[in-house]
Structure 1
Amino acid sequence: MLTCFEIVEGIGALLLVLYLSYSLFALLARPSAAAPPARPLHFTFLIPALNEEAVIGATLRNLRATAPEARVVVIDDGSDDTTAQQVLALAEQDPRVALLSRRPPHAQTGKGEALNWGVGQLLRQNLLPPAPLDEQVLVVFDADGRLDDRLLAEARAAFADPDVMAAQARIRVRQSGAQTGAQAAGWRGWLARLLLLQQDLEFYIVRHIQLLRQRVQTVGLGGNGQFMRLSYLAAQLRAGHSPWPPVLLEDFASGLEVRLASPRYRLVFLESGVTQQGVTDVRRFLRQRARWTHGNLQCFPRLGRVWRAPMPLGARLDLTYFLAQPWLNLLTLGLLVYYPARAVQRLLTGEVNWPLTLALLALNLSIPLAWVLLYSRENRLTPRRAAFAALGMPLYMLIMMLSVPLAFRNFFRGQHGWAKTARHAET
């Protein structure tokens, strides 16, 4: 009969196999073959904004310079700063910039609700280009986003396939922080620089995971650089469905809804991307990651639909793995407590299996080091900065894991409020 120790260590071994297998497949993932020839498309950027006076002006100017043919619509979600005034000032000078304003009690109820409302207003107020809806693409853009000038051309090629309903751009984190963060002296500045670098490294890993998920048609949508065909959005609203479900991870949920709406619909990943600010404060970082995990927990009930809907087995397994992440992370957090305590006990009793221990340690270190190596090569990091990335990764992962119990606490308490990440002005 198995002991409690054997059961726990068996669970740990299973989680390790899942992690190593998925990571290895992601490491080996490569971009797909060339997309079909581009077709004419009309892009409308939709920016949900709540108290974004520090960044909104620079973002609008960047979009108008980088994508002069596109329209830009800002949803002011009940801001009490100068966000709306800045947008109106630019709209008076540029007819391709527009402002939509939400007011209490409907404002500040969540990003997904703001986006659903905004699309409805675009359709009702005739704020869209005079073109068929299947030739129009909506781009969800963060108020601190910056656009790669190659992205829209890549999106045109991707959406040439009429079955592509959504796409996600690659996300990069700008290595610039507030003067009280990344530029500060001492341990706070060191920790802020570590957070910025590790967030960009994390999104580099996400890029490889997206390339892998594209193979099984489960590309995940994010909150920044999210492309959606307007004909799909209009059809969802007419049917009484919210394209962005009322959960804290509304971006992933919106992509999941696309995948479940029809077995024909496809989601793709765009290599050209967008950049955004990183979080340089540990408390804000924990709140952000707790919100993401919380939103994932809210999406978990969709698992039944995933297994009932017609889709390949690989897609079902991948979506199941993603939806189960909060629970797997909770198990991992428990194992992070168990294994050190068990190791001390074995050292005291002389029961350590050193060959097995060293082999497991090498396996656990190999994948993170491989990611750092590939990331350093792409970004041409100096040896010193590459070492900073490698040595800082365990601390970063530990900080991320600390957000898991916070997310579960908020979820089970029913605290589903929208905790927005603050931005900072950049020079």
Structure 2
Amino acid sequence: MDASESWLYAVTGYAVLLAWPVTTVILVWFALRYAGTHRAKVVNRSVAGGNGRPEHFWVIVPALNEEAVVANTVGAALNLRGPAGTLSRVLVVDDGSDDRTPEVLAAIDHPRLHVMRRELPEARQGKGEALNAAYRHISRLTAESGTAPEKVVVGIIDGDGQGSENILVEVSRLMRDTRVGAAQVQVRIRNRNRLLGAVQDLEFGAIVDACQNMRDALDTVGLGGNGQFSRLSTLQTLGSAPWSSCLVEDMELGLRMHLNGVGIRYTSRASVTQQAVVDVRRLTRQRTRWAQGNMQCARYLGRLFSSPRVARIALAEMLHYLLSPWANAILTVLLIGTGLAGLGGLLIGHPIVFIPSWAALGQAGGVWLIVTTFPGLLWALVHKYKHGDEGMPRMLTAALAYPAFLILGLAATYRALGRQASGRQAWAKTERLVEEPLAVAA
């Protein structure tokens, strides 16, 4: 092989390596350019004089063996207040808990708290089925009261979730626009005093936030399992079971809404906090479930391609999220395989074209080190700029640990591939950490 061909292979290899930091820079620029003030001005103009303002809020808390956290979660949800003249209520779905969750809930005496107890065999059929049961209950109460469904908003806060005080006010502001059928708020991590917690807050508070701000500008916002809010009328267009048995029922709900032409907005002005998974084994299990759920949602690709409602740029952005688990798995095999082949070739005296010498191997290793550490360091700066609630030493430590966190995610992707291929769907519940009790407002 001549020098020109070797040069072409080298350029191609480095292009693959540099794709991640380059796209990170673009995303960071986009996030800082369009986060907060820009989008807020656009939304404020679009909702001026809008008549879609919600009058009733229901916050659903799905609970399965949540004795460690459910009291704080319910207390925080009951403390939430919407704009003047709106009514907010909390509906806890006890999905067949066999710990002390029922006793903890029974001890909370509040006029705006409703508890729905599901028993086997209906219970424990997945979070989606629990949410569907709560949704049908709310639909029935809404019809009996004669309230217009488009004036009712249903929010989801997970068993370990706590919403910011302004969350209902912010959602109400967004939904003054009648074209907005759902909204997603920012997600943050509470127990970020531990390294894994700090890395997950770097992920949610900076990276996911940036992606969602970009998706907001492209009208392709995705719904998360925690902190999603939907008009009851929007959910009713999806039938009696808006949430599916998919392992990421929130992502599928968002895709179905987009295919129906529903407007979904994102805001980082309000947030919901949740607990980080600080055990590596449990974290891998959680990420495996998420990756497998993304793979399950790939069945929507055909409808997305053929839908006249989804613009091309929005389609491309959605496909990125649906296909990235598969692409990451394939790319990892190629990169690791190339590196091992290059090392082996040098050891036996038959170097491959991508790595023709030990100097080239060292150079490639140096580039790989920069490529894998640069994005995390950049996101640490973004996190500090946007939030300022963590010291730089902790966030820089999280940034340096970020590449290992991504490797864990890739391992989870391969586990998800195996589970999906074998048809395994069952999952163990993520365990919670005990926290200090919160006060509940009257």
| TM-score when normalising by structure 1 | 0.86
> Deviations for 1:192-219, whole angstroms, at most 9, x for unmatched residues?
x221110000102100000011121111
Query: Which residue does the alignment assign to 1:410?
Result: 419
Q: Distance in 2 between matches of 1:12 and 1:326?
A: 21
| Equivalent-residue separation in structure 1 for 2:124 and 2:390 (angstroms) | 41
| Aligned partners of 1:109 and 1:418 also within 8 Å | no
Q: Is the 8 A contact 1:291 1:419 kept in 2?
A: no
What residue in structure 1 maps to residue 243 of structure 2?
244
Change (3 A) 1:42 1:328: same
Q: 379, 393, 396: which is aligned to 1:384?
A: 393
1:231 maps to which of 230, 233, 238 = 233
What's the offset of the Cα at 1:77?
0.7
CA distance in 2, matches of 1:128, 1:20: 55
CA RMSD of superposed structures (Å): 2.8
Does the 8 A contact of 1:12 with 1:335 survive in 2? no
SS at structure 1 position matched to 2:78: helix
Q: Which stretch shows the higher mean deviation, 390-399 or 310-319?
A: 390-399
1:253 aligns with 252
Q: Residue 430 of structure 2 is aligned with which of 415, 421, 425? A: 421
Give the aligned residue type for 1:220.
Answer: G
1:199–1:278 CA contact under 8 A, matched in 2: yes
Give how far 1:368 is off: 2.4
Alpha-carbon offset, residue 63 of structure 1: 1.6
Which one-letter code corresponds to 1:70 in the other structure?
S
CA contact 2:59–2:155 (8 Å) conserved in 1: yes
Deviation at 1:362, TM superposition (A): 3.9
Partner of 2:382 in structure 1?
A: 374
2:61 counterpart SS class = strand
Partner Cα separation in structure 1 for residue 306 and residue 10 of structure 2: 33
How many residues align structurally? 402
Q: Secondary structure at the match of 2:79?
A: helix
Kindly tell me: are residues 40 and 402 of structure 1, through their superposed partners in 2, closer, same or farther at Cα, counting changes over 3 Å? closer
| CA contact 2:142–2:148 (8 Å) conserved in 1 | no
CA separation of 1:387 and 1:25: change in aligned 2, threshold 3 A: closer
**Alignment pair present for 1:154 and 2:173:** no
Q: Could you tell me how far apart the structure 2 residues matched to 1:275 and 1:336 are?
A: 36
Q: Which residue of 1 aligns with 2:91?
A: 73
8 Å contact from structure 2 (residues 17, 371) kept in 1: no
Partner of 1:318: 317
Which 10-residue stretch deviates more, 31-40 or 408-417? 31-40
- Could you tell me how far 1:364 is from its partner in structure 2? 4.5
Aligned with residue 277 of structure 1, among 275, 278, 285: 275
Check if 1:307 corresponds to 2:311: no
Q: CA deviation at 1:339?
A: 4.0
- Which of 88, 113, 120 aligns to 2:129? It is 113
- 1:401 matched to 2:403? The reply is no
Distance in 2 (alpha carbons) for counterparts of 1:54 and 1:363: 40
Q: What's 2:439 paired with?
A: none
Contact 2:373 2:403 in 1 (8 A): no
Alignment match, 2:440: none
Structure 2 Cα separation of the partners of residues 216 and 21 of structure 1: 20
**Change over 3 Å in CA distance of 1:13–1:410 after alignment to 2:** farther
2:66–2:159 CA contact under 8 A, matched in 1:
yes
Question: In structure 2, what is the equivalent of residue 215 of structure 1?
Answer: 217
Deviation at 1:70?
1.1
Following TM superposition, by how much is the alpha carbon of 1:87 offset from its aligned partner in structure 2, in angstroms? 2.1
Task: Give, in angstroms, the shift of residue 102 of structure 1.
Answer: 1.5
The separation in 1 between residues aligned to 2:203 and 2:380, in whole angstroms, is 10
Aligned to 1:25: 26
Residues 278 and 128 of structure 1: is their aligned pair in 2 closer, same or farther, counting only changes over 3 Å? farther
- What pairs up with 1:13-52 in 2 under 5 angstroms? 16=17, 19-20=20-21, 22-28=23-29, 29=31, 30-31=34-35, 32-34=39-41, 35=43, 36-37=47-48, 39-52=53-66
Q: Secondary structure in 2 aligned to 1:170?
A: strand
> What's 2:195 paired with?
194
Which segment is superposed worse, 320-329 or 123-132? 123-132
User: Quick one: percent identity of the two aligned structures?
Assistant: 34
1:89 shift after superposition: 3.0
- Residue 7 and residue 296 in structure 1: after superposition, are their counterparts in 2 closer, same or farther (change >3 A)? farther
> Could you tell me how far 1:246 is from its partner in structure 2?
1.7
Q: 1:59 to 1:386 in 2, by over 3 A?
A: closer
Partner of 1:94: 110
| SS of equivalent residue, structure 1 residue 33 | helix
Distance 1:60 1:334, change over 3 A: same
Q: Distance in 2 between matches of 1:60 and 1:417?
A: 27
Q: 1:423 to 1:360 in 2, by over 3 A?
A: closer
C-alpha spacing 1:107/1:8, structure 2 compared with 1 (3 Å): farther
Contact between 1:25 and 1:212, CA under 8 Å: does it hold in 2? no
Any idea what SS the aligned residue of 1:417 has? coil
- Tell me the SS of whatever aligns to 1:81: coil
- The equivalent of 1:187 in structure 2 is none
Shift of 1:106: 1.5
| Contact 2:295-2:325 within 8 A present in 1 as well | yes
In structure 2, distance between residues paired with 1:70 and 1:275 = 19
Give the C-alpha shift of residue 129 in structure 1. 6.7
Q: Is contact 1:12-1:332 (8 Å) kept?
A: no
Q: Secondary structure at the match of 1:43?
A: strand
